[in-house]
Amino acid sequence: METKLNSTLNNTNKRILHIIPHSHTDEGWLSTTEEFFTGDDPDSIYVGSVKDILDSVIYEMQQSKNRTFTYAEIKYFKVWWDMQNNKTKDAVREMIKDGRLDLVSGGWSAPDEATVQYDSILDNLHIGQYFLQKEFSLHPIVSW
């Protein structure tokens, strides 16, 4: 059975593809939180670092105003943020204000979906969203 794209906005045979660059950096998944951030775990199967991801994303976004990024893990973002100079912080604030850098959910980290507890979810969201509100006056409207 063939499915047909039906849209009042697109009455052509063209398909519309939305690509949403985003993060997925679980704290302590394959390494300790610090090793995952820096990439300094020689025994990990994960090659890379969250710091490098954020450095390269922000650099590339500064090169083109057409680029966007969605980031969810506020703990790693705060560790990275605290390492930045005022020039980079000002550029990031502008990206957030313009909606190009979307800090979603506001959770300090992604909650464990298998053994989650109500109070730990609330604490997780409170810590992350407190940082976003304090630093950027940002209040996520959807969290998970």
One digit per residue, pLDDT tens: the chain, 144 residues?
444 444 455 567 777 777 777 777 777 677 788 888 888 877 777 677 889 999 999 999 999 999 999 998 899 999 999 999 999 999 999 999 999 999 988 888 877 666 778 888 889 899 999 999 999 999 887 777
Tell me how crowded residue 94 is: count the other CB atoms within 10 A of its CB: 14
Nearest in space to 103 (alpha carbons), one of 65, 133, 67, 59 = 133
> Buried b / exposed e across 115-144, counting CB within 10 Å, b at 16+?
eeeeeeeeebbebbbebbeebeebebeeee
21 CB-near residues (< 8 Å, 6+ apart): 57, 68, 69, 70
Write out the residue range of the structural domain in which residue 79 sits: 33-136
Considering the domain boundaries, does residue 63 fall inside one?
yes
Q: What is the token pair recorded at 38?
A: 């820096």
Considering the domain boundaries, does residue 42 fall inside one?
yes
Would you state the pLDDT for residue 113?
67
Considering the domain boundaries, does residue 53 fall inside one?
yes
Q: Which CATH number fits the domain that encloses residue 132? A: 3.20.110.10
Query: Global pTM?
Result: 0.80
Considering the domain boundaries, does residue 27 fall inside one?
no
Considering the domain boundaries, does residue 144 fall inside one?
no
Q: How many domains does the chain have?
A: 1
How far apart, in whole angstroms, are the C-alpha atoms of residue 81 and residue 74? 10
